[in-house]
Structure 1
Amino acid sequence: MAEDDDPQCVLDDYDAEPSVPRLVNAIDAWLYFLLGCTFLLSWTVLITALSFFLSRLAGSPLRATLGSYMSMAITASGLAFMAHATATSKQWSSFRRILISTGWLSLLMFLFFLSTFIHVPPSWFFAFIIVNGIMQAGWASHLGTAVYAEAALLGSHCVQALMTGQAAVAVIVSAVQLISAVGSIWGASRQPTASEVSDGIAEERAARVLFGVSTAVMVATMVVYAWSKTLPSHELRTGRMEQQRRSRDAEELRGLISAGPAIITLPDTKIQILRVFKANLVYEISGAYVYVITLAVFPPITVSILSTNPNMHPLLFSAIHFLVFSVGDLLGRHLCSYPRWMIWSERRVLTIAILRTLFIPLFLMCNVQRSATAPPTTAIITSDFLFMLILGVFGVSNGYVSTMSMLGASSLEHNAKLKGRQEDVDVAATVANFCVNVGLTLGSIASFAVRGAICDCNPFVE
């Protein structure tokens, strides 16, 4: 490779001309912001559309624990797919993987859109939700692995944009759901009872808009990312990855044709992953534990908390609750863009993550409905405003700690344990993302135990 073609030389040229990097970085930031939106869009849509899913399962014993089963199935399968994607991250073209994954996610979301026009038996619909969700989890895992690796190679500004995009899409989806809910219940009864069985029309209309818009966003992302191949940063990304691949191939060739000791020092992807995992263990535990607590209560438990105002429609209250959490999550991630609010100490980040455990008893003190037919539990916190305030702080802490864990794990400047190895940056981001998925899975399983704490019966049945 000629000196002018070296990716590092390209980066140095950017640094030498301030006007160029500002433009390139801005375009890259928006691109990874959009990819961050798409990466988390499927999961966000599924949990936001929970009211629609529940309305289609009215009268079925599967209804009570759909949220927990859905979360556990999607996150557990996503973890398995993520393990495969992480292990093969160096063997596939990230550009091709991102395009294919986005295409499949668009198709699967379109099937959810079609489901709003078709009525099937509850057991069939339950199976459709789980199977479709598992497939989306698989493609989202491969998409996330490739996106995090690319963003980490381009710098912290792309990682920050990616994390912000994940939170922003939740706000957008929640806002669309809220607007749809308002339109769907316009003119409906202003005094629904807690035991009232909804006909599901309002939920169906709201979900139809949600799934349709989400499909359009995914298709648009696929088109924009395909266009990004013409950007200078695409050459920088592929150049760095190709440089690492050629370096690895050269080391392997030297090991094959030289004496025995050289073979012992062969770079190995699995060894590299294990080394980075051990170095970033505290950051990785923090990122995982954040989502253990979040998924333990949100949304399986929080969606069962009813408004204490009898004039508030349950669908509207649920939509507002999703929006409050999403806005808080976005605010928490945005705080990490201000140096004065950033905490690089891995132990402090872990401490904040552990303190989030206190949110579980706080939510259980609210107006929780044990099942579709049982009356609400005796609530200690009876104020809707206080519940929303707790939920907002819950969202802020989720976004802040998860972002700091990811930034800290892949930062050469602030993470001394990486020892300045540029080749470990994308691996650190990929492994940290995998640990987040471990936390999501454990949190989904924990939601069954938390639900058991509020039920008089087996939490696995209604």
Structure 2
Amino acid sequence: MDIRTSAMGSDVGGGVPRITTEVEHDDSDGDQSIMEMSHPQDMRGDARIRWVYFMLGAATLLSWNAMINANPFFISRLLGSPLRTSFSSYLSSVFTASNVVTLAHAIMTSKHSSPSRRAFWSTALTSAIVTILFLTTFLHHSPAPFFYFIMISAFCLSGCASYLSNSVFAGAALFGAPYMQSMMSGQAAVAVAVSSVQVIGTAISVWGTTPLALAISATNPDGKAEEKSARIFFGISALYMIATLLAYRWLASLQVYTTIMGALENNLKPRVVSDEAGERQPLLPAVLPSTVEGNQIFRVFQTNFIYNFAVGFVFTVTLAVYPAITVTIKPTNMNTHPLLFTAVHFLLFSSGDLLGRHMCSFPQLIIWSARRVLALSLLRTLFIPAFLLCNVELSLHVTPFISSDLVYMLLLCALGVSNGYVSTLCMLGAPSLEHNRRLKGRQEDVDVASTVAAFCLIVGLAVGGFASFGVRAVICNCNPFTS
């Protein structure tokens, strides 16, 4: 009995591809579509599909990068509001808290919902919200309504990112390792791309600014440069999300996509005929259970507690200072525009994070010992007092201990490199049957270990976002780290 899937129309106005399954008994050509699907040209050489997964991977993290890179614009619109000083902490907390809740729901309901529909609507809603944010750069509202609008936007964007991520991971896992690698590359590259666009847009908006104008804007900011920069940034981001939506619709119309995803859409067993199974074998188990037992999740969480805690703590430390605290650090060189300084700081962190992830592609740089990885994670706590020694914008006017912009940028780059490197070590080690003896060779625990570690990563982001309030309190009340 052979299984064939095909796209049979669409839901709601033709927007969402609907996958149905046909069961036939014709053995003469029943494997033809499967054989074509598993041809090397489709599974390894079809750069078009890999590029779509690259775009989808980037789209899963575009929302977060869009919101944090637009911090200067948001803050400029809150001038005179008591919410201005703690805005970055509120933004990080709302976004990451929403991420935790919605991702948990996405995981629990993943077997009862269509990944294709989730991916389509998540991408469409993200495109719409980013477009609305672009339009806000032309409007001016009072600080309080604007604050709540941004918080609602962050909550919705985070939810869309969670459902999109859950769907895209599932699809890439079924397609195989090359497509999973493309998606992961997209996730790592989006932050660099977004930051680069922000730096270019900022450079254009402040081009020709004189030192006298800098001094005036420092005491009486008008927000025009931030507005122009955000307008360019949100405009390009909206166009990218629309392009991703169109690319996904094209992907969903392919026979190879409907064949592969039919296994996940209908809980069917995927059939991959291959003479190079190691390269093209689906990454998810052949039989997809309708539910994952709660006791299995708890057991795997306990088994991999060191990895899970380590990856969560990595992002707790990072979010405690970045971007809530780092955006308040100003250049000590008076000839440097603060807005450009902030934009470059996002780019440096993102580039460092990408470099840290790339370091794990070299086997000699991978650390498999869970305890050593945990030690590296805990050592990153030192970044918190280190950044408080820099030129943080304070209510108490004191001389910063670290007065060099170069030293600050190097410190920021180190934060990014260690963030990418240590977190990737955790994500590699947690589900590894070969190197993680705690799993005791249980193949059925591999996907659960990966999912639990990813969830702990999100929890770490949320905890770090709330921790930034405490770090900010130290700055405002009794900064003991400056002299």
Normalised by the length of structure 1, the TM-score is: 0.85
Partner in structure 1 of residue 114 of structure 2 = 93
1:108-144 Cα deviation digits (max 9, x unpaired): 1111011101101011111111011111111111112
Partner in structure 1 of residue 380 of structure 2 = 356
Residue range with higher mean Cα deviation, 206-215 or 283-292: 283-292
Conserved? CA contact 1:86–1:434, under 8 Å: no
**CA 1:132–1:267 in structure 2 vs 1: closer, same or farther (change >3 Å)?**
closer
Q: What displacement does 1:82 show? A: 1.6
> Which residues of 2 match residues 75-94 of structure 1 at below 5 A?
75-94=96-115
Matched, 1:147 2:168: yes
Conserved? CA contact 2:195–2:347, under 8 Å: yes
| Residues in 2 aligned to 1:156 and 1:333: alpha-carbon distance in whole angstroms | 17
> Which residues of 2 match residues 39-58 of structure 1 at below 5 A?
39-58=60-79
| Residues in 1 aligned to 2:185 and 2:444: alpha-carbon distance in whole angstroms | 25
**CA 1:381–1:397 in structure 2 vs 1: closer, same or farther (change >3 Å)?**
same
| Residues in 2 aligned to 1:13 and 1:271: alpha-carbon distance in whole angstroms | 39
Partner in structure 2 of residue 23 of structure 1 = 45
Conserved? CA contact 2:37–2:256, under 8 Å: no
Partner in structure 2 of residue 209 of structure 1 = 232
The one of 148, 151, 173 aligned to 1:130:
151
Q: What displacement does 1:185 show? A: 1.0
Matched, 1:336 2:357: no
Higher helix fraction: Structure 1 or Structure 2?
1
Matched, 1:185 2:209: no
Partner in structure 1 of residue 274 of structure 2 = none
Residue range with higher mean Cα deviation, 425-434 or 345-354: 425-434
The one of 121, 124, 147 aligned to 2:142:
121
Matched, 1:431 2:452: yes
Matched, 1:308 2:332: yes
Q: What displacement does 1:421 show? A: 5.2
Partner in structure 2 of residue 261 of structure 1 = none
Conserved? CA contact 1:164–1:333, under 8 Å: no
Aligned AA (1:274): F
1:324-357 Cα deviation digits (max 9, x unpaired): 1011011111222222222233222222211111
Q: What displacement does 1:196 show? A: 1.7
| Residues in 2 aligned to 1:79 and 1:433: alpha-carbon distance in whole angstroms | 10
Conserved? CA contact 2:262–2:268, under 8 Å: no
**SS at structure 2 position matched to 1:368:** coil
The one of 215, 220, 223 aligned to 2:243:
220
Conserved? CA contact 1:28–1:233, under 8 Å: no
**SS at structure 1 position matched to 2:387:** helix
> Which residues of 2 match residues 19-418 of structure 1 at below 5 A?
21-23=43-45, 29-191=50-212, 192-193=214-215, 195-229=218-252, 230=254, 232=256, 235-239=259-263, 242-243=266-267, 268-371=292-395, 375=397, 377-418=398-439
1:1-49 Cα deviation digits (max 9, x unpaired): 449999xx99x9799976664315x555433322221111011011000
| Residues in 2 aligned to 1:168 and 1:434: alpha-carbon distance in whole angstroms | 21
Aligned AA (1:296): A
Q: What displacement does 1:269 show? A: 3.8
Q: What displacement does 1:454 show? A: 1.3
1:333-386 Cα deviation digits (max 9, x unpaired): 122222222223322222221111111111111111125xx53x4211111111
Partner in structure 2 of residue 256 of structure 1 = none
| Greater relative contact order (CA < 8 Å, ≥ 6 in sequence) | 1
1:287-324 Cα deviation digits (max 9, x unpaired): 21111011000011111111110101110110111111
**CA 1:197–1:368 in structure 2 vs 1: closer, same or farther (change >3 Å)?**
same
Aligned AA (1:290): V
- How many pairs align? 434
Residue range with higher mean Cα deviation, 271-280 or 418-427: 418-427
Conserved? CA contact 1:97–1:142, under 8 Å: yes
| Residues in 2 aligned to 1:313 and 1:401: alpha-carbon distance in whole angstroms | 33
**CA 1:80–1:245 in structure 2 vs 1: closer, same or farther (change >3 Å)?**
farther
| Residues in 2 aligned to 1:321 and 1:58: alpha-carbon distance in whole angstroms | 22
Aligned AA (1:202): A
| Residues in 2 aligned to 1:14 and 1:396: alpha-carbon distance in whole angstroms | 42
Unaligned runs of 5+ in 2: 6-22, 24-30, 271-289
| Residues in 1 aligned to 2:172 and 2:444: alpha-carbon distance in whole angstroms | 14
**CA 1:268–1:166 in structure 2 vs 1: closer, same or farther (change >3 Å)?**
closer
| Residues in 2 aligned to 1:40 and 1:2: alpha-carbon distance in whole angstroms | 38
1:84-113 Cα deviation digits (max 9, x unpaired): 112112221222211111111111111101
1:208-243 Cα deviation digits (max 9, x unpaired): 111111111112112222222316366335426745
**SS at structure 2 position matched to 1:402:** helix
**CA 1:344–1:240 in structure 2 vs 1: closer, same or farther (change >3 Å)?**
farther
Conserved? CA contact 1:160–1:403, under 8 Å: no
Q: What displacement does 1:267 show? A: 6.8
Conserved? CA contact 1:153–1:425, under 8 Å: no
| Residues in 1 aligned to 2:427 and 2:236: alpha-carbon distance in whole angstroms | 29
Residue range with higher mean Cα deviation, 235-244 or 125-134: 235-244
Q: What displacement does 1:153 show? A: 4.4
